[in-house]
Structure formats: C-alpha cells, structure tokens
Structure 1
C-alpha cells in the first residue's frame, strides 16, 4: 500500500502526479490519500507529526519507508522506481536536472509566501503591500528565467520529460494566481503540455475541483 499525506493543490501534488506518471499506483498500490486542510487541527494529530519533522505535507509511506519533503520524495521515487525520469550521476544532463529540481523550491517558496499573505491572512491581520509587491516581482523574475532557458524545447531538459518537470507541476498551477502568464508564451505552452499528459490528468481527477483559491487572480494590495 502507498499512503500519501496530502493537501489538495499543494506541493504534495508533485508526488501524486509522479505516482501516476510512473505507474507505481498500479505496481505497488492501492493508494490511500490522507487529505488535510492547511491549519486544520488534523495536521497536528494522527501520523503527520511523526512522519514530517516540520509537520507539513507531503509525507509518504511506501514499501515500509516513511519520508517527507516533496523534492526528496520525488528524487527517491525516481532513483528506486523510475530511473528513466531522472538523470544519472556522470551524465551530461545531471547538473541541469539537479538545478531545476531545486529551482522548483526557490519558486515554490515565493508562492507559499504569497499564499500566506494574500490567501490565508484574515482580518484584523493585513498583508504588507511592500512585501507582497517585492515577492510578486521575485516570482515574476523566476518565471522570466524559466521562459528564457526553456527556449524552443518541449521540456526543461534537452533529453525530454523528467522529474524536474514534475516538480514544476504545482508551481505553474499556482503562479498565475499572482503573475499572469500572458507575457510568457513559452511557459504558457509548457504549462499546456504538462496539463495534456494523461498522468497529470489522472492526478487532477483524483484532486477534484479546485477549492484552494477563492478568486482567479490576487492583485497586490494597495498601500
């Protein structure tokens, strides 16, 4: 059995998509999803605090192993079950593969910051317009860097689809709530290719309707 501790439309989507992409649900399943709501009491109860030192999703129980951190889980599952989605040490694409895997977290940390400021803060707390503006600018820069380096390729690496693209699945879902992709045509096309993958569609179907964001776009609040 595979047990995934998961917040719908959070970073744990990376792991859910990878499980679909690799066929591990069919090979090692069945899959049990333990779903949480951010900030809800159940995140402090049950198994999650034991599995995750930070008491955060994702966490996974698979083959008798317990792990947390989406990047670590993705790298481990690729190394042990889907080497074709990784780039082996010593190969020419290995440095770029590792860079994109970790770039995804640089970008996701900015999205998380904006989620906290513009989605989860409730009165009387107020987001800082200055901090939000700077964070949006930094997120836009990470997207511009991807746009420039993606070029005319279908995927992040010249050799084709990899787990580095899987790490971006959550990011490119969430980033447009703060930075429109209208100015990034290559990224918009890349996002469409991601969403067209059958495994991605299966993962989205497991998620169900999006309930994380209450509006289509979150502008920077006025000072």
Structure 2
C-alpha cells in the first residue's frame, strides 16, 4: 500500500486523524502547514481541502477532507481494527452521534481560538462573545462528563474512533474551561494520553506553529 499523506497542523484537529492512523498501525507521510502564513489559501492546498482547513488525507488513490469523514472512511475500509461501529451494530447511533458531537464542541473552540489567538488586532476581541462561548463550551462538556462517570471510554463497549474524535477535542477544551470542574473528563484525558498509539501520535505531531497560552481566563 502506498504510504498515506496527511496534511497537518501540529496541535490542531488533524491530530485526530494522526492518532487514529497510529491506532491502526499506519504511519503517514506528514506534510505540515501553517495557519497564519496564508499557505492554506493557496491553490495547491485548496485543491485538497476547499475550505482551506486541515486535515486532508491522501489515501487509497483519493483525497479526503474533514476529520469526521476521514474517520468514518478509515473505519469502514479497515474494519479489522474494530474502531468503527458498522450498520446493524447496537452502538451505531451513539457512535455517529459522538463523532459529530465532537464538531459541536470543536466549533465553539474554534470560535474562542479566533477571539483569543487569531484576531490580528486584540482590541477587536469581544468580552461578551468570549464569555458566552466559554459558557456554551462548558455546557457541551456536561453530558460527556456524565457519560464518562459510567464508562472508561466514549462508548460503553470500549475504545473506538469516537475516542480519537472527541479525545482531542476534550483536551483542547481545557484551554478555555477549567477541567478540574469536570473530573471524569480530566481522568479520561489522562487515560487516553497513556495509550501507546496516542504517545506515538504525539511524537509525530510536531511543535505547534501558532501562538497561544495554555489557558485563557474568562471573567464572569
């Protein structure tokens, strides 16, 4: 099999795919991009990902963009790894729900990233927006906290690609929400970080090439 090519920004959503590939024992060639230098608006990259976003994965003779679509494709074409939940599986619906719930959370994180990290003029930041979005982000974590009080993984049956989708997102949420208020999520993040494939993905991830602090305090 030709080595897949992952278009990647270190510390960003493409980590989801990098982690999943490592769980499958697949190490891609990594092409690293930068968010702030305009390269992701180039015709070369837009031909692979029309919205100019990562990830994009070149695999099996095609290019796939959007981390959820890539994840579903990898699970369906490589079912021997048991990381998806196929049609007819009793967990098919919760699997799909959690795959897409990861983007519900991710959308809020992206908005906060824009406000705190990517605005060219920090004076344009809206205190009202960051307060509302941080509260909404915390609200989206509440049902995950409840679920993880009962299970070690996102699905009751055990580890799946829902964990690679949500696991990255739950870690990223800690930039804007104090995860000590969500002890089950905090413990879950620690468990995921101990997975051998997660450790390998972290080694391949590279150094984050966009600015940012570990935590942004939002005043009540």
TM-score for the superposition, normalised by structure 1? 0.92
Count of aligned positions: 217
Cα offset, 1:55, TM superposition: 1.7
Is 1:53 the counterpart of 2:50? The answer is yes
Instruction: Verify: 1:147 aligned to 2:149, yes or no.
Output: no
CA distance, structure 2, for counterparts of residue 52 and residue 16 of structure 1? 17
The match for 1:184 is 182
Shift of 1:177: 0.8
User: Cα–Cα, structure 1 residues 213 and 180, in superposed 2: closer, same or farther, change >3 Å?
Assistant: farther
Q: Which residue of 2 aligns with 1:28?
A: none
Q: Secondary structure at the match of 1:8?
A: coil
Contact 2:36 2:210 in 1 (8 A): no
Partner of 1:219: 217
Are the equivalent residues in 2 in contact too, given 1:127–1:221 (CA < 8 A)?
no
Corresponding residue for residue 114 of structure 1? 112
Shift of 1:172: 2.0
The residue aligned with 2:136 is: 138
**Cross-structure match for 1:32:** 29
Q: Which residue of 1 aligns with 2:91?
A: 93
Q: Which residue of 1 aligns with 2:16?
A: 14
Cα displacement (A) at 1:215:
1.9
**Deviation digits for residues 94-137 of structure 1 (CA, Å, limit 9, x no counterpart):** 11111100000000000000000011113264211111101000
Does the CA-based 8 Å contact 1:147-1:186 persist in structure 2?
yes
TM-score (norm 2): 0.93
How far has the Cα of 1:21 moved from its partner? 0.6
Contact 2:153-2:159 within 8 A present in 1 as well: yes
Secondary structure of the residue aligned to 2:71 is: helix
Superposition CA RMSD, Å: 1.6
SS in 2 for 1:4: strand
Q: Tell me by how many angstroms 1:216 deviates.
A: 2.0
Q: Distance in 1 between matches of 2:112 and 2:211?
A: 12
